[in-house]
Amino acid sequence: MGMYLSYMVFITIIGVASYFVNNLLDLALSVIALILIFSPVLIRKDFSANFPSLIDTLILVYLFLGTYLGSFKSFFERIWWWDILLHLLMGVNIALISFSVIYRLKEVKSHVQLSPFMVAFFSFAISMAAGGIWEIVEYVLDTFFGFELQKPPRIR
């Protein structure tokens, strides 16, 4: 809990500073990071699901790697594989969350009968769909709002 609180304060400070220097991309990333920090809590509340603390930790690690190191410390531009690593980590996060939700749905709704293969397949499909939606969001933000989320990394 202390890690979440300290990271939330850290991201809030970065968001406020980004607002005052008119850096809209970092401000938007800070807001998205704050929303994602609370996503496990919201999912638990809506689905009465008990996620493993591993999911919470992976989300926090993803947010730290993506927002702080990736955007604020420019790892996306300096390390060519950074974006690939974060896409992989987010895919794993979404697959674990969807697996937990589907598994919990099977427990709560006794008429839902899925084989282990189908649970894994749906988790994979949800993860791939979320990745595709994220790429569309990046494209829209780049095209209509002038962000540079899809710029190629500098290879040294």
User: What whole-number distance in Å separates Cα of residue 107 and Cα of residue 81?
Assistant: 39
Taking only the tens place, the pLDDT of each residue in 125-143 is 999 999 899 889 888 888 8
Are 30 and 72 a contacting pair, CB within 8 Å? no
Taking only the tens place, the pLDDT of each residue in 27-78 is 887 888 788 777 766 666 665 556 567 777 777 788 788 877 887 788 888 8
CB count within 10 Å of CB 99 equals 19
Give the pLDDT of residue 45.
Answer: 67
Side-chain half-sphere CA neighbours of 15 within 13 A: 16
CB count within 10 Å of CB 106 equals 14
User: What whole-number distance in Å separates Cα of residue 63 and Cα of residue 36?
Assistant: 8
pTM of the full predicted structure? 0.70
Give the pLDDT of residue 73.
Answer: 83
Q: Where are the domains of the chain?
A: 2-145
Give the pLDDT of residue 124.
Answer: 92
